[in-house]
């Protein structure tokens, strides 16, 4: 989030106030760029001296939010999410401070102040989301958008809140508002396409993802949104819906110009799904099933062979075992057909 917008010239004026009211050492420490938590302590002392000074609350919110984000970034380096009780407290302190400012100040009229207000609103919405209070985030952002209906950044954040709350249609609608306001908003069409994929609506998702590609998103990345959701729904879930998986992957492969690496990866899993379908279909081992499944096994073999760069570069794919198994099934079907004739 755009914290740089928030640390405005008010800090300089505040520092001189602190020099006078708290002593030169405290004020100069503030001016020198104290760590976020240290700066918060100084501001809190200022609030005790001047509890009606909204500039203090504004910067307290800025520093509290920045401190929470800073702690979390450090935690993520070691693989954690950093959402400790301390961080939760900082998010809540930011929310409380910002809401004090919102209550005490009318909506700003000049552009710079309005941009600062929007950044603060985004921080509050993001804080609610990080705390897991999605309903509160949605309520807060929806209310803020009544006063700022043309702020694409707020609509985009509301879309994220809806998505986390599994209200995907609402998330798509929010991104459509972003598109109407700012068609070139960063990653807009990729996000919208991904949300539509989560709904299972490929007819709407693919044209949107194609727009994302036209605006600079790599074609592989767009197609992999479809592939990843297909794998999650139909392969990882082990529900036997291999035909649905193939439908999705074929649409991903034919809708975008893919790299050799992406094509090889999708071909491997396409072959895997087709192989599973054929194995189940050939079990009666009759002439009819052999004639029906032989082309399926042959197509699976073709796909497996084209997927060699992907399969041989990853552990655990059992690539040679798949090739051997498919070849064996092909020989079996051919033998059944030969006997039947």
CB-based contact 252:266 (threshold 8 Å)? yes
Q: Which helix (H) or strand (E) holds 44?
A: helix 36-49
Packing angle between helix 260-281 and helix 287-306, nearest 10 degrees?
A: 160
Closest CA to 92 of 123, 54, 50: 123
Task: Give the residue carrying structure tokens 């796909």.
Answer: 303
CA triple 306-224-255, angle to 5 deg: 75
Query: In this structure, what token pair is assigned to residue 94?
Result: 């930011």
- How many other CB atoms sit within 10 Å of the CB of residue 321? 9
CB-based contact 296:281 (threshold 8 Å)? yes
Query: How far are the Cα atoms of 38, 49, 254 from residue 273, in angstroms, in the given order?
Result: 58, 70, 18
Query: How would DSSP label each residue in 106-130?
Result: PPP-SHHHHHHHHHHHHHHHHHHHH
- How many other CB atoms sit within 10 Å of the CB of residue 81? 10
- The alpha-helical segments, DSSP class H, found in the chain are 3-6, 10-22, 24-31, 36-49, 54-77, 85-104, 111-130, 134-147, 152-164, 168-181, 188-198, 202-214, 219-230, 242-255, 260-281, 287-306, 308-311, 319-340
CA triple 78-95-186, angle to 5 deg: 65
**Domains in the chain, ordered, with CATH?**
1-131 (1.25.40.10), 259-341 (1.20.58)
* This model's pTM is above 0.85: no
Task: Give the residue carrying structure tokens 């994302």.
Answer: 212
CA of residue 159 relative to chain centroid, distance? 11
Cβ within 8 Å of residue 215, ≥6 positions away: 184, 189
pLDDT, tens digit only, all 341 positions of the chain: 444 444 444 554 555 455 445 444 444 444 444 477 877 888 888 888 889 989 889 989 998 999 999 889 888 888 888 899 999 999 999 999 999 999 999 988 888 989 999 999 999 999 999 999 999 999 999 999 999 999 999 999 999 999 999 999 999 999 999 999 999 999 999 999 999 999 999 999 999 999 999 999 999 999 999 999 999 999 998 898 999 999 999 999 999 999 999 999 999 999 999 999 999 999 999 999 999 999 999 999 999 999 999 999 988 788 999 999 999 999 999 999 999 86
Cβ within 8 Å of residue 3, ≥6 positions away: 62, 65, 66, 69, 119
CA of residue 172 relative to chain centroid, distance? 13
Dist. CA 98–CA 59, nearest whole Å? 9
Closest CA to 259 of 222, 224, 225, 219: 219
Contacts 24+ apart (CB under 8 A), 82-91: 83/130, 88/131, 90/64, 90/65, 91/64, 91/65, 91/127, 91/130, 91/131
Handedness of CA 103, 105, 110, 113 (dihedral sign): negative
Closest CA to 303 of 256, 270, 255, 258: 270
């Amino acid at each position: 989030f755009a914290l740089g917008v928030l640390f405005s010239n008010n800090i300089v004026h505040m520092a001189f106030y602190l020099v006078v009211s708290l002593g030169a050492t405290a004020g100069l420490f503030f001016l020198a760029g104290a760590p976020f938590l240290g700066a918060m302590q100084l501001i809190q002392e200022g609030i005790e001296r001047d509890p009606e000074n909204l500039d203090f609350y504004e910067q307290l919110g800025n520093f509290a939010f920045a401190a929470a984000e800073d702690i979390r970034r450090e935690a993520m380096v070691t693989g954690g999410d950093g959402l400790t009780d301390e961080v939760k407290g900082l998010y809540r302190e930011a929310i409380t401070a910002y809401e004090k400012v919102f209550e005490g100040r009318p909506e700003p009229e000049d552009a710079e102040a309005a941009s600062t207000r929007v950044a603060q609103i985004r921080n509050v919405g993001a804080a609610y989301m990080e705390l897991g209070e999605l309903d509160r985030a949605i309520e807060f952002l929806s209310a803020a958008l009544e006063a700022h209906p043309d702020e694409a950044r707020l609509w985009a954040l509301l879309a994220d809140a809806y998505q986390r709350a599994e209200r995907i249609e609402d998330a798509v609608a929010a991104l459509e508002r972003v598109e109407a306001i700012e068609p070139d908003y960063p990653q807009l069409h990729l996000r919208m396409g991904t949300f539509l994929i989560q709904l299972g609506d490929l007819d709407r998702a693919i044209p949107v993802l194609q727009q994302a590609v036209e605006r600079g998103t790599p074609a592989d990345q767009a197609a992999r949104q479809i592939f990843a959701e297909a794998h999650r729904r139909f392969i990882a879930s082990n529900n036997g819906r291999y035909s649905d998986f193939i439908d999705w992957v074929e649409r991903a492969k034919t809708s975008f110009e893919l790299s050799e690496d992406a094509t090889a990866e999708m071909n491997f899993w396409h072959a895997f799904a087709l192989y599973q379908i054929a194995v189940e279909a050939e079990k009666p081992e009759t002439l009819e099933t052999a004639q029906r499944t032989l082309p399926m096994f042959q197509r699976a073999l073709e796909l497996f062979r084209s997927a060699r760069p992907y399969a041989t570069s990853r552990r655990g794919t059992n690539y040679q075992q798949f090739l051997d198994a498919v070849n064996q099934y092909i020989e079996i079907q051919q033998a059944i057909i030969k006997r039947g004739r």
